[in-house]
Amino acid sequence: MTKSAAPAKTTAGQLLTIANIQAAKTEQHAAPQQPSNDDYNHPTNHQEKATTAATASPEWRTIRDRYIGHLMGCNACYAPADRHCATGADLRQQYNDIPIKQSPEQ
């Protein structure tokens, strides 16, 4: 005669069944609640444009393009090691000196 094992119980005293386990997994993987439209409709007092290459000044983009173009063609320059030929070092200095943001009067 074999004894059947008693069903496992959770700490809350509920029977631990396959249905309970599957229900718990479903709750854990439920889709997050979507924010309401009210979250998007509130105007902010401070709106600032992100500064990216697309919003940078034309002068900055020109210097950046010259520097990167030189790096791509010069075997003596290796930017990750901060190794540059004379021309590359000059272009890198120009790139470092010019701010990416447009001036307010532009």
pLDDT digits (tens), the chain, 106 positions = 555 555 555 555 566 677 777 777 666 666 566 666 655 555 555 566 677 888 888 898 999 999 999 999 999 999 999 999 999 999 999 999 988 876 554 4
Query: What pLDDT, on the 0 to 100 scale, is given for residue 28?
Result: 62
Place of tokens 């790096």: 71
Q: Looking at the whole model, is its pTM more than 0.75?
A: no
> Residue 73, Cα to own-chain centre: how many angstroms?
30
Backbone angles phi and psi of 69, in degrees to 5: -60, -40
Determine whether 6 is exposed, middle or buried from the number of CB atoms within 10 Å of its CB (0-12, 13-18, 19+): exposed
Closest CA to 67 of 43, 45, 91, 101: 91
Written as one string, the DSSP assignment of 48-98 is -----TTTS-HHHHHHHHHHHHHHHH-SS-BGGGTB--HHHHHHHHHHHHS
> Residue 6, Cα to own-chain centre: how many angstroms?
51
Give Rg (Cα) of the chain.
31
In tens, the pLDDT along 64-93 reads 999 999 999 999 999 999 999 999 999 999
Query: What pLDDT, on the 0 to 100 scale, is given for residue 69?
Result: 96
Query: What pLDDT, on the 0 to 100 scale, is given for residue 51?
Result: 76
Query: What pLDDT, on the 0 to 100 scale, is given for residue 84?
Result: 95
